[in-house]
Amino acid sequence: MKVFVLDPINAKGIDFLRKEVDVVLWDDSAAGQWHDEADGVIVRGTTPLRADDFASAVRLKAVSKHGTGVDRIDLDAARRNGVRVMNTPGLNAEAVAEMTMTLALAAARRVPMIDRLLRSGQPVAREDFDGSRAGGAQGFWGKTVGIIGMGAIGRRVAAKWSAAFGMNVVWFDPFVPEAAGSDLEGERIDDLEQLLARVDLLSIHAPLTKETKGMIGAREIALMKNSAVLVSVARGGIVDEGALFDALSDGSLFGAALDVFEQEPPAADHPLFSIPSFVGTPHIAAGTIDSREYTSIVVARQLVDVLNGGEGANVLV
């Protein structure tokens, strides 16, 4: 059996694969032949798998996705062609939750802005950032965080802000059953507009779907407090980047941080990078050494299981 790893994964997962199957890696000149030779494929978020890929991959039995999001995989086409697709939900939840808090605090306390000033040799007046003057750094203690998407990551983020910062948690997720919602941290709000008006920090953890694409645009941002911070580590396209640029430019939003963009990687001249109150990272929220090692082994193990006739795990189709 032959497995093609089309996107980079941690070496631990590759070592596991090589003990079980023939492996072709993303940087091998033979990687382009996967449609003809692959029994199994591993992808992360770079390589899309479209209808024509599944139609032409005559030997393909299974796809194992490193990570949760499958918006770049045509699941209907996989189903039509009898290909099993799996993902690895929840494995990187702690890493993403940690990065969510890192980005929020960086934006609220103006850390990147101050760092750039220091590195460039410009004078830094403490009073501009310590709250002595208007526009200084924001704190989160005892304030309100709004979570959009209460899956594995959203729940961890809610719990961490509540426990460590004494924040009031409100959340919006129409896909959480009513019975299950009562067991979750904080207050459920079924009206997104009401949630937006209340929060000091908006933390987005929803998948990219037809319903969520562009769900945070100019109208939604205008409902938020001028002192609020917006953070998204979910998927590019959920937040309207043009509307976010306008809000940060005119001061109607205190700060924002994105780990995800509509175009990835974002261009160096992306308008948001010209805004001092914006913090950007290149879709790395899930990336720690620990999480990458563990996820690479799981994504490899469940693929090999299916190729050996097993049921696999985390099966989507």
Residue pLDDT, tens place only, 229-261? 999 999 999 999 999 999 999 999 999 999 999
Residue 90 confidence (pLDDT): 84
Judged against a pLDDT cut of 80, whether residue 217 lies above it is answered with yes
The pLDDT value given to residue 240: 98
| Class (C level, CATH) for 93-280 | alpha beta
35 in active site: no
3-state SS class at 9: coil
Contacts of 21 (CB under 8 A, 6+ apart): 1, 2, 3, 39, 40, 304, 307
| Known catalytic residue at 187 | no
Verdict on whether the full-model pTM lies above 0.85: no
Stretch 211-216: mean pLDDT: 96
- For the chain, residues classed under CATH 3.40.50.720 are 2-90+289-307, 93-280
Distance CA 70, CA 68 (A): 6
Instruction: Give the Cα separation of 200 and 39 in Å (integer).
Output: 49
Region 67-74: what's the mean pLDDT? 90
**pLDDT at 145 exceeding the cut of 70:** yes
CA distance 272 to 270: 6
Which pLDDT value is given to residue 132?
67
| H runs (alpha helix) in 120-191 | 152-165, 178-181
Average pLDDT for 13-18: 98
The tens digit of pLDDT for each residue in 165-205 reads 999 999 999 999 988 877 898 999 999 999 999 999 999 99
Please tell me the predicted confidence (pLDDT) of residue 161.
98
Report how far residue 273's alpha carbon sits from residue 302's, in angstroms, rounded to the nearest whole number: 39
pLDDT attached to residue 128:
76
List helix spans (H) across 19-86: 34-37, 51-56, 75-80
Q: Candidates 3.40.50.1100, 2.170.120.40, 2.30.300.10, 3.40.50.720; correct CATH number of 2-90+289-307?
A: 3.40.50.720
Residue in 110, 235, 270, 292 annotated catalytic:
235
Q: Is 205 a catalytic residue?
A: no
Tell me the percentage of the chain whose pLDDT exceeds 70: 99
b (16+ CB within 10 A) / e for 50-70: eeebbeebeebbbbbbbbbbb
The pLDDT confidence band at residue 304, using thresholds 50, 70 and 90, is very high
pLDDT on residue 42: 98
